Amino acid sequence: MSAQPLARLAGLLADPTRAAICLALLDGRAWTASELAHHVGVVASTASEQLSRLVAGGLLAEERQGRHRYLRLAGPDTAALVEDMAAFAAESASVPAPRNLRDSARRSAEARARTCYDHLAGRLGVALADALLARGVVTKDMGLIVTTPGRAWLTGIGLDVDKKRRGSRPLVRSCLDWTERRPHLAGALGAALCAHAMDAGWLEPIGTGRALRVTASGTDALHDLFGITLD
């Protein structure tokens, strides 16, 4: 394999503005160009230039509706790449102190529970991964896989992982959590767990970011089904 494609990919994420855009899009939503410009603190023309480079490089996908240009990460593999690189970077660099009380509260909330593209991360995501391993729903004996009894158990709680499996996407994949420094679950299973928890009202978004709040019914369900007791 030529080194040039790797160098081009690394160059796309070497710019702080482009990196910030990709991190923002880990919430799994499509953002307008103006929303991303405001979020990363640059003028619209700068954002437009950087977004075009990310689209051309294959990291972002775009869709135009009328006057608006919507951007999202190109897919789950791109999200995994960004999250893995963020986790690696967090291990090799000191995390700057919160800028203010609001920033501190956001970081604390995201560390407890957040979305990572279309699956769950933070302490809750890691706790779910631990619980499914302990119950034999997934196993690491021959690589990370969903067991046959595990698939039946998931179906029994109303969770159909095959609906979230598209193309060559793995059924389950380990994703290093950048705040916990331990893995949570991605892949079709991770996406199905997140969607099920949101649809059932176990979790609800906090504001417009990636942080999630566990509801009262979610606290009961997580304890009864997975044996998770939240702090």
Name the residue type at position 185: L
**Closest alpha carbon to 113 in 201, 179, 172:** 179
Asked if 132 and 199 sit in the same domain, the reply is yes
Asked if 56 and 117 sit in the same domain, the reply is no
187: left (phi over 0), alpha (psi -120 to 50) or beta: left
3-state helix, strand, coil in the chain (%, to 5): 55, 20, 30
Asked if 197 and 109 sit in the same domain, the reply is yes
Give exposure, 130-165, as e/b (b: 16+ Cβ within 10 Å): bbbbeeebbeeeeebbbeeebbebbeeeebebeebb
Is there a domain that residue 139 lies in? yes
Is there a domain that residue 178 lies in? yes
Is there a domain that residue 81 lies in? no
Asked if 131 and 222 sit in the same domain, the reply is yes
Asked if 142 and 192 sit in the same domain, the reply is yes
The helix/strand/coil state of 179 is coil
Is there a domain that residue 85 lies in? no
Question: Of the candidates 74, 89, 123, which is a domain's last residue?
Answer: 74
Asked if 198 and 108 sit in the same domain, the reply is yes
Asked if 70 and 104 sit in the same domain, the reply is no
Asked if 101 and 184 sit in the same domain, the reply is yes
Q: Count structural domains, the chain.
A: 2
Asked if 117 and 216 sit in the same domain, the reply is yes
Q: Would you state the pLDDT for residue 94?
A: 53
User: How distant, in Å, are the alpha carbons of 23, 25, 44, 158 from that of 225?
Assistant: 32, 31, 47, 12
Asked if 182 and 116 sit in the same domain, the reply is yes
Is there a domain that residue 80 lies in? no
pLDDT > 70: percent of the chain: 93
Q: Would you state the pLDDT for residue 231?
A: 67
Range of the structural domain that residue 118 is part of: 97-226
Q: Would you state the pLDDT for residue 99?
A: 66
Site of tokens 């990196």: 19
Asked if 189 and 122 sit in the same domain, the reply is yes
HSE-up of 60 (CA within 13 Å, CB side)?
31
Q: Are 165 and 156 in contact (CB under 8 A)?
A: no
Beta bridge partners of 202: none
Q: Would you state the pLDDT for residue 217?
A: 95
The residues of the chain scoring below 70 in pLDDT are: 1, 90-103, 167, 231
**What CATH number did the domain enclosing 49 receive?**
1.10.10.10
Name the residue type at position 74: A
**Residue-wise pLDDT tens digits, 121-145:** 999 999 999 999 999 999 988 788 9
Question: Of the candidates 42, 59, 74, which is a domain's last residue?
Answer: 74
Is there a domain that residue 169 lies in? yes
Asked if 110 and 68 sit in the same domain, the reply is no
Q: What sign results for the dihedral spanned by CA atoms 148, 153, 156, 160? A: negative
Is there a domain that residue 79 lies in? no
Q: Which two tokens stand for residue 163?
A: 């609906």
